[in-house]
Chain A
Amino acid sequence: MKPVLELQQVKKNRTGADTRPLFMDVSAQITEPSMIALLGVSGQGKSTLLRMLAALDRIDEGSVRLHDVPQSEMDPKAWRMKVCYVAQQPVMLQGSVEQNLRAVSFLHRIPYEDKLVKQLLPRLGLEHLELGKNAELLSGGEKQRISLLRSLLLRPEVLLLDEVTASLDRGSKELVEQVLQEWHTAEGTTMIWVTHDLEQARQISGQVWFMGEGTLLENSATTTFFDSPATETARNYMQGPASKEQPCLS
């Protein structure tokens, strides 16, 4: 079977005077729909890698393939509908909450899944939300969940989640995890999930990608990674005081 997503020797240069690459030789293969946690200290380039996978940032060297079709050969719009990035800082489009949720239906002239939305909103802890409200007025956590739901309605094959629970309380966070977990099982969506919350990573993922030292340092099953990490860097990352801190938006 063709791999869902394949990264070959992916490299990203830094901008400006710094000539050291941000990361290089990032290679990985996702052979079947999976839940992957992408970990690494702040500034390693996790967001950048996700943006590259979603064709929003340039791939300086190497290639990314979806079912064996290189990104460079696919129409960027078609690619992004299959590999969808949910941003670290949620952006609301102008208009009401409902207009935001209808964005996909509006852009692609497909029916709006009203039932699904009505069903998912309470499950994300948003039952109180007034759909006619100006989306700009939502709280940070509400924006994150609306932006997530907006992307789910696109039904992508690969969902790139960039710290999507960063500004949520414990309860809402668990709700989101549950919804995504079930979505993954039902739809067979692959999710690559950036998080600084190790407990969450352990919970939701079957595989861990650990970025460090300017590359993808480890790629192993979640239990293996947490029980016996292969590198000193990963061990430090998990024990270091940094991991105890609350994840901060940056």
Chain B
Amino acid sequence: MSILGLSFTLLFVMITMLVSVWQKLGLERDIAIGTIRSAIQLLLVGYVLQFIFNTSNPWFIALILLLMIGVAAYHAGKRGKGLRGIVWKIAIAIATTELLMMGLLLGFRIIEATPQYIIPISGMTIGNAMVVSGLLLNQMRREVGSSKGEIETLLSLGATARQAIQDVMKRSVKSSMIPTIDGMKTVGLVQLPGMMTGMIIAGADPIEAVRYQILIVFAFASSAAVTSIILSLLSYREWFTKDLRLLSIEPERKG
């Protein structure tokens, strides 16, 4: 796509702006910020990727992956406000998932060990792990709030933190995985996944694109499971105080 062609995409922004002004949605400012940020972020990423693909230095790859994990952990950490060291715990959960995924993909030579494969696939795995972490923490918060009586009943019978929160954990892990699994069932039918669409537009053979998409879908499912279970195990104790009383959970905030 030429630069001129890219500039014309601003037409879409103008349509959005017009709708906002016309319907008095008051979103003009947010649309402007969103437009500028997405353009700059994506262009920057493009240049960074180009640079890394050219150098192929493994340290750079590692650095990029760490950065992705850091940003993802920070972002998902907002869902776990009030829990001690939650950002670190998310980072560990996501990093473990990423290591496992890459270990399998590279170990069985499913993908080539080049940045062209490693970085985009890692990006998607980490992104999905981030979403799953956020879902898990949100769900835990909701469940701990609504199952306070159940948890405290178990505590009053002398249960450990793990015993008292076991059921809540199980339900939260399950519900954090549901969107990913539902996604598996409808993928390709309701909408073509972004990666596949991109590959096809960029000129790849649709069958080849589909193969990679299948890989991503399967990898997502297992990374959702692994992330969710690791994070729940790392973080369950943080819903209690040191002397094993249930934290008083503030009501969930929007956004």
The reply to whether B167 and A94 form a contact with Cβ atoms under 8 Å apart is: yes
B205 within 8 A of A: no
The reply to whether B243 and A72 form a contact with Cβ atoms under 8 Å apart is: yes
> What separation, in Å, do the CA atoms of A108 and B154 have in the docked complex?
11
Q: A57-B245, A93-B150, A94-B167 are in contact. Are A107 and B157 (CB under 8 A)?
A: yes
Task: State which of B157, B158, B243, B245 has its C-beta within 8 Å of the C-beta of A78.
Answer: B158
Task: State which of A58, A72, A77, A87 has its C-beta within 8 Å of the C-beta of B153.
Answer: A87
- Minimal beta-carbon separation of A47 from chain B (angstroms): 12
The reply to whether A85 and B156 form a contact with Cβ atoms under 8 Å apart is: yes
- Minimal beta-carbon separation of B226 from chain A (angstroms): 26
Q: A57-B245, A58-B245, A77-B159 are in contact. Are A107 and B154 (CB under 8 A)?
A: yes
Residue on A with the closest CB to B159? A107
- Minimal beta-carbon separation of A163 from chain B (angstroms): 15
| B152, B155, B156, B160 interface centre (most CB from chain A within 10 Å) | B156
> Which chain A positions have C-beta within 8 A of B150?
91, 93-94
| B150, B158, B241, B244 interface centre (most CB from chain A within 10 Å) | B158
The reply to whether A93 and B153 form a contact with Cβ atoms under 8 Å apart is: yes
- Minimal beta-carbon separation of B15 from chain A (angstroms): 48
Q: Interface extent on B, as a size class?
A: 10 to 19
Interface residues of A in 49-70 (CB under 8 A from B): 54-58
Residue on A with the closest CB to B167? A94
> Which chain B positions have C-beta within 8 A of A46?
none
> What separation, in Å, do the CA atoms of A107 and B153 have in the docked complex?
12
Q: A94-B150, A107-B163 are in contact. Are A54 and B245 (CB under 8 A)?
A: no
Enumerate 8 A-B pairs (CB-CB under 8 Å) in ascending A order. A55-B243, A56-B155, A56-B156, A76-B245, A77-B158, A94-B167, A108-B158, A150-B157
Instruction: Give me the interface of A with B, judged by CB distance under 8 Å.
Output: 54-58, 72, 76-78, 80-81, 84-87, 89, 91, 93-94, 103-104, 107-108, 147, 150-151, 154
